[in-house]
Chains A and B, each alone.
Chain A
Amino acid sequence: MTLDAISKIEELVQQVQSIADPAAREVSLELVQAAMALHHAAMERVLEIVGEEAPCITAVMGADDLLSRVLVLHGLHPDSFETRLSGAIDRLRRHFDSRGSGIEVLESGPDVVRIRFTGKRAGAAAPARLTIENAIYEAVPEVGELIVEAIAEEHDQGFVPLASLVASERA
């Protein structure tokens, strides 16, 4: 499941939720829920078997990009919320450090994660927000709310230049 495929899922979910006919909408949601429940049960069984037969494999599965996304989706990832969140934050710090900007973590609970982006460069805030959202949602999609704040710089004024917007959409 690549990021493109995951992105497509959001569009499809929005389309299902906006089906005007309530019966059709309901049955579509039920289908999704039933299919997900089946896979959830199967994956739980996989983890049970692996956990009994070869516990070391569980960690390898958790570290794999694709499996990790699916495991967090199902709430079955071997790492806790805190571990996954702090892993994502470490990766973000390294990413922004190398670009001369940074992040501050203001809140980090399962209900709210609040992160402040501190960038100096004009137009850096919008793509940074995207990077932060992506990293956090990938690691802890169960988070209640994610708030990304950006300090408006003198040249930035919280205004997103069109160029950076277009660039990040194509990224």
Chain B
Amino acid sequence: MIGAPRSPARGLVALRRIAFPPAAPERCELCSTQIGEAHEHLVDPEKRRLVCACNACAILFDHSGARRFRRVPRDTRCLAGLQIDDALWNSLGIPIGLVFFFRSSVSNTVVAVYPSPGGPAEVAVEQDLWNELAALHPALEALADDVEALLVNRIRGARMYFLVPIDQCYRLNGVVRSHWSGFTGGDKLWEEMHRFFEALQQHAIPERSTADA
């Protein structure tokens, strides 16, 4: 109908369409299949980069030995039985109570990564110290190279330990990056951290009783 009057509220529709264009659907970075929000991740240990993948491609990299990518597991476990005493903790020399540890197959060392004013800082953990730490919990001795991490939250008196897929650590880095302010992070960051760990705890698989200390 040419010249038909248009409803004024169409302005809302028009503004909405240009202001919030629909996000392009995510695609598998290996085969370009469209994937949903809850998709698999692979890690490139060499470049320390996450790759989004469809299920079919992810399965190809299960237990991959010498391949370029490794499949990131999905489960988070709360290590409620793990207790790290202050003496051991202090000997690790991590200046902050928020850190994750993973074993890199590239450098063949355990690496600790923690937030700092200049972005994520990382140090290699002495093998003896890691062995001492890993002896405290069977899950740590079985920590998978590159794809799993021990995530530690000892902020403000907390003592929380999780066995997490490495992509959760990347996500944590993202939260820290977008909320860090000043030299010590700022209150907003610690609120966000609190929220992050609450969500993590909710989705975590509770520890089996055999692992209780």
Q: Which residues of A contact B (CB under 8 A)?
A: 3-11, 13-14, 16-17, 29, 32-33, 36-37, 40, 69, 72-73, 75, 126, 130, 133-138, 141-142, 160, 165, 168-169
Contacts and interface: CB of A to CB of B under 8 A. Distances in A.
B11 A36 contact: no
A128 B5 CA distance: 11
B66 interface: no
B3 A9 contact: no
A75 to B, nearest CB: 7
B188 to A, nearest CB: 11
Given A36-B19, A36-B20, A9 B14 contact: yes
Among all A-B residue pairs, the 6 with the closest Cβ atoms = A7-B8, A137-B9, A6-B11, A9-B11, A36-B19, A133-B7
Contact of A72 (B6, B7, B12, B18): B12
A141 B1 contact: no
14 contacts: A3-B8, A5-B11, A8-B11, A10-B10, A14-B14, A17-B18, A29-B18, A32-B18, A36-B19, A126-B4, A130-B6, A133-B9, A138-B12, A165-B4
B7 A130 contact: yes
A6 B16 contact: no
B5 A33 contact: no
B189 to A, nearest CB: 16
Given A14-B14, A141-B13, A160-B1, A134 B19 contact: no
B7 A13 contact: no
Interface in B1-42: 1, 3-21
Interface of A is mostly: helix
A168 B13 contact: no
Contacts of B15: 9-10, 13, 32, 36, 73
B67 to A, nearest CB: 40
Contacts of A7: 6, 8, 10-11
A10 B6 contact: yes
A61 B12 CA distance: 18
Given A6-B12, A69-B12, A138-B12, A13 B4 contact: no
Nearest to A69: B12
A48 to B, nearest CB: 11
Given A29-B18, A73-B15, 17 more contacts: A3-B9, A4-B8, A6-B11, A7-B6, A7-B8, A7-B11, A9-B14, A10-B10, A17-B18, A36-B15, A73-B16, A75-B20, A126-B5, A130-B7, A137-B7, A142-B16, A169-B5
